[in-house]
Amino acid sequence: MHPILFKLGSITIYTYGFLMAVAITLAILLTAYRAEKRGYDKNIIYDLAFYGVIGGILGAKLLYIIAEAPTVFKNPKSIVYMLTSGFVVYGALIGGVLAGYIYCKKKGLNFLKMFDLAAPSMALAQSIGRQGCHFAGCCYGRPTDSPFGVIFKESPFAPNGVKLIPTQEISSLGNLIIFLILLNYSKKGRSDGKVAGLYILLYSVGRFIIEFFRGDFRGNVGPLSTSQFISIITFVIALIFLNLDKIKKQNSN
């Protein structure tokens, strides 16, 4: 794999960082394009994306540190390393959505409509981002004898020279499929929160399953990994989003 894309003198361009930048840029442009077609001011999307990205980065870093808390307790100095490396996708999702919610509240925007617009793009960004994980070797799978296993040679994260389950590629493909499903689903008129709910539902199920095949430590809550525990919570939230109409009718009766 190629953790380093290229070098410009003393400047090193890492493949992971480059692909993350591509993922975020494409997600923002796609959301702005779809929003403009629906009569929204695309500048609102750019502003919303800015705060969403900041919230996502902070959330991803915070959840990473929380998941690695046992390491921090054993070696407090490790917090310095963690501040410059390591992210958790669920943290990015939670932080980005929370920042978007706060922005929409302050600007008087319909949060669920904005979330519905952004959901397909978020899945696409995750698909591209997982390719970055593949090139860096992070988020790697368990050892396998399968002919579809991958062997890392220069990864600073995965065990090198060992055939591993290609969890990054599986996750990338899964998120791409979710992106296509959401695009098709959103073509028809849907009530607020439906597209976002389907996104959260599909991602939660996929993430819960792929965790069984991961080989890197991601923290744990009892017998579950941290991400599996969060997946259960987000799955319930997704069901609420998908049944908002019924919930509102029951409350109005």
Residue with tokens 């009892």: 222
Cα(111)–Cα(153) distance, integer angstroms: 45
pLDDT digits (tens, 9 = 90+) for 91-123: 999 999 999 999 999 999 999 999 999 999 999
Residue 79 or 212, more confident: 212
Q: Which residue has the tokens 């779809």?
A: 34
Contact 40, 34 (CB under 8 A): no
Give Cα 64 to chain centroid, integer Å.
13
Angstrom distance (rounded) from CA 114 to CA 177 = 21
Give the separation between CA 177 and CA 179, rounded to whole angstroms. Answer: 5
Quick check: 165 and 215 in contact, CB under 8 A? yes
pLDDT at site 129: 94
Residue tagged 């959330």 (tokens): 59
Residue (of 227, 114, 95) closest to 171 by Cα position: 227
Over the stretch 176-211, which tens digit does the pLDDT of each residue have?
999 999 999 999 888 999 999 999 999 999 999 999
| pLDDT tens digits along 10-29 | 898 889 889 999 999 999 99
Closest listed residue to residue 20, CA positions, set 100, 157, 160, 126: 126
Cβ(170)–Cβ(210) below 8 Å: yes
DSSP string for 229-244: HHHHHHHHHHHHHHTH
Q: Which of 38-42, 81-85, 112-116, 217-221 has the lowest mean pLDDT?
A: 81-85
The answer, as to whether pTM is greater than 0.95, is no
- Torsion of Cα atoms, 248 then 93 then 179 then 142, to 10°: -130
Q: What residues does each domain of the chain span?
A: 4-252
- Percent of the chain past pLDDT 70, that is, above it, reads 92
